[in-house]
Amino acid sequence: MVAEMLTRRDFVGASAVSCLLLAGCAAGKGGRPVLRVSVTGKGEGDTRLLFKAAGIRPEGFDLAYSEFQSGHLVVEALNGGSLDYGGMSEIPPIFAAASTIQSFRQIAVAHGDVNNQVVLVPRGSKATSIAHLKGKRVGYVRATTSQYFLIRMLEEVGLTWDDIKPVAMGVSDGAAAFSQGALDGWAIYGFPIQRAIATEGARILKTAYGILSGNYLVSAHVDALADPEKTKIIREYLSLVQKAYGWAAANQDQWAGIIAQDIGVPRDYVLDQFKRKSASYELRPVTDQAVASQQQVADLFFQQKLLPRAVDVRPLWDARFNDAIPKRV
């Protein structure tokens, strides 16, 4: 089965793109340069929220944030030229690599938690194993980690993609379908997990621990990489992000309360997720191991006939910022 193409509704509706510049939408204060950055989801994935909590503000440049619900929409925006800097999992760039347009390069790894990537089942479900989803309707977000770990989980219990009724939908549509009882399972990531558990009595059937690498990729548009001023700003921004990750790791109780308020759930639910973390977030440089990890994922998608051709991910990587990534403190 060849992966579905994005519809206009998927891109416009699901991404909920909004320009949220710290000092105006078209230009920075006093004509300062602007770095256009993606934000995916709410809560822990929202860099705006983290920077505000940690008291971090860039000097000499401003940030224009655009909101997305999944990484494949970030890749679409990078390829469309509306972002300078974006984050996503290992999967969305693989689909871009199989196409004719790759207007970005992967410049760093944000390594973090994989226990916030799960298959949820609704209240009252009798499923105790992924095997119990055979013949059932299971939601997922196409071309993301949720599709990848769902395939791998099925393989682990001797099932294939054809043994379930997979339903590709964006995060918001998936949340609505799950809430209305239209799904028997939901492969999902991030803040919707705590919200579904807190408000609907959902249960985690299985996490992606042991399946996902924990590598989330930092990418930059090729035009930004060709611009000396933008390149300098990206170096500075990477340092600020690492500093913010350090603050989050050192102030988990405070950070949990801020996230809980942002996503609308009791603080205890976020603290519980923090206790189950496989790792705290940190930026890491480009390495051969990171490239090999993404290649392994690309090979699986090709084997599953979800890509039109085999993909070599190496041309997507750019190690020029390795010396700009400080150790997380």
Phi, psi of 111 (to 5 degrees): -90, 135
- Two structure tokens written together for 254: 């405070």
Cβ atoms 71, 106 nearer than 8 A:
no
Answer yes or no: pTM beyond 0.85.
yes
Task: Give the whole-angstrom CA distance, residue 229 versus residue 226.
Answer: 9
3-state secondary structure string across 223-246: HHHCCHHHHHHHHHHHHHHHHHHH
3-state secondary structure of 310: coil
Strands 165-168 and 137-140: what pairing?
parallel
Q: What are phi and psi of 115, to 5 degrees?
A: -80, 0
pLDDT at residue number 328: 87
Predicted confidence pLDDT, tens digits, the chain (329 residues): 333 323 333 333 333 344 444 433 445 667 899 999 999 989 998 999 999 999 999 999 999 999 998 899 999 999 999 999 999 999 999 999 999 999 999 999 999 999 999 999 999 999 999 999 999 999 999 989 999 999 999 999 999 999 999 999 999 999 999 999 999 999 999 889 999 999 999 999 999 999 999 999 999 999 999 999 999 999 999 999 999 999 999 999 999 999 999 999 999 999 999 999 999 999 999 999 999 999 999 999 999 999 999 999 999 999 999 999 998 87
Q: Are 97 and 128 in contact (CB under 8 A)?
A: no
Q: How far is CA 279 from CA 21, 162, 248, 299, in A?
A: 30, 33, 12, 26
According to DSSP, the β-strands at 215-221 and 85-89 are: antiparallel
* 224 HSE (CA, 13 A, CB side): 29
Cβ contacts of residue 99 below 8 Å, gap of 6+?
Answer: none
Structural domains for the chain? 8-112+215-324 (3.40.190.10), 117-207 (3.40.190.10)
The confidence score (pLDDT) of residue 20 equals 45
